[in-house]
A = this chain, B = another copy of it.
Amino acid sequence: MELLDDDKTIDMAELFKIFGDSTRIKIINVLLDNELCVCEITNKINVSQSAVSHQLRILKTAKLVKYYKKGNCIYYSLADDHVKKIFMLGSEHTNE
């Protein structure tokens, strides 16, 4: 493979940086197979509501999750299959 240009290099680093935090990994983990509202996410992982919300914003900004409103709640899910793939590959590597 050829040498990536600087922009692409930075974009890749930014992408991995998002996966490089325990709270965000936990959030992605619980969203792998379901959509969940913030409240449910907060209950499933051991992190404060505020921290979850802050991290969801980062995931949202990076377009790694999507969401919709339903009444009082906001349901989040993974943006596309790529997110799951990256997660699973990381998971595999970590098992060794």
Please, which residue of chain B has its CB at the minimum distance from the CB of A33? B1
Within 8 Å CB of A89, what residues of B? Answer: 82, 85-86, 89
- Chain A's interface size range is 35 or more
Known: A17-B20, A25-B13, A33-B1. A8 touches B94 (CB 8 A): yes
CA distance A17 to B19 in the complex (A): 7
A29-43 vs B: 1/0 string, CB under 8 Å?
Answer: 110110000000000
Known: A82-B93, A85-B89, A92-B82. A3 touches B30 (CB 8 A): yes
Within 8 Å CB of A49, what residues of B? Answer: none
Stoichiometry, as copies per complex, reads: 2
| Cβ B82 vs Cβ A16 within 8 A | no
> Which of B13, B82, B91, B92 contacts A21, CB < 8 Å?
B13
| Cβ B82 vs Cβ A15 within 8 A | no
